[in-house]
Amino acid sequence: MTISPDLPQVLVIDDEMGPRESLRMLLKPNYQVHTASSVEAGIKILQEKHPDAVISDIRMPGTNGIDGLRRIREIDPHVAVIMLTGFGALETAQEALRLGANDYISKPFDAREMRDVISRNVERTRVQRTGEHAAAEIRELNNRLLKELAQKERLASLGQASAEFVHDLGNPLTIVWGYVQLLAKKLEQQEKAPGTESPTSAKELNIIEQNVRLCRELLTMWQSYGSVEAAPHKPISVSAIVREVVKGIGSIATGNGVELIVDISEDPCTLMGEGVQVTRAIQNVIINAVQASAEKKGKVTISCTRGDFYVDVRVEDTGTGMTAAQIPKIFEPYFTTKQHKSGTGLGLYITKKVVEDHNGSIKVDSTPEVGTTFTIRLPLASK
């Protein structure tokens, strides 16, 4: 007779041949039966065959059933173990249950009771194992998802970082581009009218050089992305930064017919921070103001005012203004109304991040068709 591989397996451990063989005969029609005459032999079969139930005598020479039970439990916590006890050995049976046996049957056993107990326990093992298997699969799936999520987050933050980097490079490059055009125009005029006195280009070259240096600094900073946030804060002068930014943007504003009105505190307005970051934050706001005012040939008023504990950088424009619905969105990454002018929508998002990294705040007031005022407030270094 061939045994179906799907038949549940039962392991019988008993040193006496009589009960061992009678159990084999009794269970054979419904189970694959393995028999062992000692705990040692039984353990070996357990490890090889992973039976669905173990029936073990308690009293055996050598390793007894109770010690055997302990070892079975160490190997397989889910297999059902049924102990065979001598008549009236209730205490031993209780001890076995306490140690993790699932059931016990007194010898001599009743065939029907034995079949019932085994069928019940085989079922219990299968349910337990299926549950354990499903739980292991869920754990495995969960681990995989967590790993994927971590990778996606890393990729997303890298993508975000590259987009911010592209945006950061955009500001100084726009300035360089503006000045190169200006110089080209000067050269052209000179070529048209040779012999006229050459207008000085030192100022323009200086601004170009400064902005190329900023590009290089940004590049170095972004190359070590990840440590950007952790860059140590140094004393920086906000007044000097605003002055530099205004100098860089000045001729672009004039080129676009926008008037710049500037009022910068004589005080250095020193705070602990990162110069490159604060520069980009202020630059973004001023460039936005110039862009918003270009069409109307409006005015941009920039002030840097020192308070007792903070410095306010205020950028007021008489440009397009914004609707109430638009204002809450402007600090979101990628929100832009300048798609046609290749705006990335990252400018104000970056500004807000930098301001918050320096424990400051940014406020906006705007009226459509009238204009907009941004106020960046940064805490000063304590003296």
Ligand X SMILES: Nc1ncnc2c1ncn2[C@@H]1O[C@H](COP(=O)(O)OP(=O)(O)OP(=O)(O)O)[C@@H](O)[C@H]1O
Question: 202-223 and 238-255 helices cross at what angle (nearest 10)?
Answer: 120
Position closest to ligand X via CB: 347
Binding region for Mg ion (CB under 5 A): 288, 347
CB of 230 to Mg ion, least distance (A): 26
d(CA 381, CA 383): 6
CB of 251 to ligand X, least distance (A): 19
- Closer Cβ to ligand X, 20 or 377, answer by number: 377
CB of 346 to ligand X, least distance (A): 5
Tokens of 345: 């929508």
**What element of type H or E holds 207?**
helix 202-223
Other CB atoms within a 10 A radius of the CB of residue 260 amount to: 19
Does the N-terminal peptide bond of residue 108 adopt cis geometry, omega within 30 degrees of 0?
Answer: yes
- Closer Cβ to ligand X, 248 or 319, answer by number: 319
- Closer Cβ to Mg ion, 3 or 334, answer by number: 334
CB of 150 to Mg ion, least distance (A): 32
Q: What letter would DSSP give residue 52?
A: S
- Closer Cβ to ligand X, 114 or 348, answer by number: 348
74, 80, 84, 87 alpha-carbon torsion, rounded to 10°: 110
Other CB atoms within a 10 A radius of the CB of residue 187 amount to: 12
- Closer Cβ to ligand X, 55 or 285, answer by number: 285
- Closer Cβ to ligand X, 55 or 294, answer by number: 294
Strand partners, 260: 300
d(CA 224, CA 226): 6
3-state secondary structure of 196: coil
d(CA 144, CA 150): 10
Secondary structure tally for the chain: helices H, strands E: 9, 12
Binding region for ligand X (CB under 6 A): 167, 284, 288-289, 292, 317, 319-322, 330, 335-338, 343-349, 372
CB of 366 to Mg ion, least distance (A): 14
- Closer Cβ to Mg ion, 288 or 293, answer by number: 288
CB of 288 to Mg ion, least distance (A): 4
Tokens of 110: 């009743």
Residues composing the chain: 383
Contact of 362 with 304, CB cutoff 8 Å: no
CB of 228 to Mg ion, least distance (A): 20
